[in-house]
């Protein structure tokens, strides 16, 4: 499957915003394909892989953290953690690229 966009960053994930796990840059890698977004994170010493199929993604938007801004994936995947926030140095670029691939990104998000 051809990849259309890839970026290294960090990842904050878990069931909700409380009790989450955080891996800082560069321990996460996001790969965007026409049919899915794949996020891999190195934690603690093994790669974990979360896949969001296009139809499972409800909304992708910016979310501000204490020191940086991430890109939040709201989804209904049964296999991925309910809370996924990808830390990036270029959230607007990531949102624009995901929007170009047809993912649900609000126009005021980028």
Domain ranges of the chain: 5-109
CATH architecture assignment, domain 5-109:
Roll (2.30)
User: What angle is formed at CA 23 by the lines to CA 29 and CA 61, rounded to 5 degrees?
Assistant: 65
**Per-residue pLDDT tens listing for the chain (110 residues):** 556 899 999 999 998 777 788 899 999 999 999 999 999 999 887 899 999 999 999 999 999 877 889 999 999 999 999 999 999 999 999 999 999 999 999 887 64
Secondary structure E strands in 15-102: 21-32, 36-42, 47-53, 57-64, 69-75, 83-87
């Amino acid at each position: 499957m051809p990849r259309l966009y890839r970026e290294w960053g960090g990842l904050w994930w878990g069931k909700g915003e409380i009790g989450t796990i955080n891996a800082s840059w560069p321990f996460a890698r996001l790969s965007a394909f026409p049919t899915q977004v794949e996020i891999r994170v190195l934690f603690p010493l093994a790669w974990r892989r979360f896949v969001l199929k296009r139809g499972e993604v409800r909304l992708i938007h910016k979310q501000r953290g204490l020191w940086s801004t991430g890109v939040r994936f709201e989804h209904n995947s049964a296999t991925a953690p309910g809370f996924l926030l990808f830390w990036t140095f270029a959230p607007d670029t990531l949102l624009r690229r995901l929007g170009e691939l047809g993912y649900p990104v609000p126009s005021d998000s980028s």
